[in-house]
Structure 1
Amino acid sequence: MAETSYSRDRTALLLVDPYNDFLSEGGRVFPMLKELAEKVGLLDNLRALNRAIRAAGIQVAFVPHRRWEPGDYEHWDHPSPSQRKIMQMHHFARGEWGGEWHPDFVPKPGDIVAQEHWGSSGFANTDLDMRLKQRGITHVIIVGLLANTCIEATARYAQELGYHVTLVRDATAALHPEGMHAAHDINGPTFAHAILTTAELIAALPKA
């Protein structure tokens, strides 16, 4: 892939679903991805990226999943398997600790906090595209959870909307190694313009 430059005026970091349920000990989903998250250094890499992106003056956008509430999905004609699991397990429940931001990834003044997405894509049926384009964003760096679901769906949608898309292979995780492999080695190269490590991306950012 061609070397990419990341203009501070045209680039945004999309931080997808940084909830306690995904990222914190005691979260409902964390035990299922903990092994892979620790193997790639997910939390440390997300922290390093968050610091570097903010130091470079690049826009940060939070891309949150729908926080489960009683009644969600129950009368839908065809909720997806993932939505059925959320309905059963109450992932990211509104008003509960699991549905709160991980303490290291809390929105700051000036950050975009998009409308919550019901499915996997952070763009579908939300205001994310409009809010990015109103700020002149053309390049998106997409990190968070899960690599082969919300990250992939959000990144594919971004490419269809005309954004330059960067994936960061060690700033995400999945429930199984096969999901990570598919996201970065099979599916990602068909739509992402760059697939980098955290260290490679930080090196490519504009200097603070």
Structure 2
Amino acid sequence: MDSTGSELPTSAWKSEEELIEALQRQEDDAYEYLVRAYSGRMLVVAKRFLGQDQDAQDAVQDAFLSAFKAIENFEGNAKLSTWLHRIVVNACLMKLRTKKRKPEKPVEDLLPHFVSDGHRDRAEPSWAITFDTAVQSRETRDLVRQKIEELPESYRTVLLLRDIEQLSTEETAARLDMSVSAVKTRLHRARQALKTLLDPHMNGGY
């Protein structure tokens, strides 16, 4: 089953290696299978970054075109799904760089505020579960994704790459052309902002 919960189409190839070889021979049925087998999961990833269906579909189409061009040099050092995931994330980041950005709420409005003695200006709400559990929990996943979409784009992107797509800090920095220290700082602030957005829903449990 794919990440969307639906059955993958039956493969005519006995192994991934055979499928890759067929793709490298530019066989049409191999290309068709790749699209049918992986477009659903790639669209899920694209929607996390881009939100709008049309933008996500465009990014997936761009990703497949890139994959078809690059498949000849694919050496099988990673699973095909991992390789495609990397390509669709890059396509999403490219689209984010080129699209016209909407005005965003300053992230500072979502960060904790402190008074002169160093304490928070209001008591931090208590959660029935931890923040890390909330981000990964199936029960709260839809709520968390909804609140992630409310983050300013630059912070949302870092959080998606690190906490949802599970890239390392170094990989995230390379994808975004940022320093590792800048990624760590932005990720910390993104997590704080997300927690602020989730606080009203998690106070006393969800």
TM (normalized to structure 2)?
A: 0.28
| Structure having greater relative contact order (Cα 8 Å, sep ≥ 6) | 1
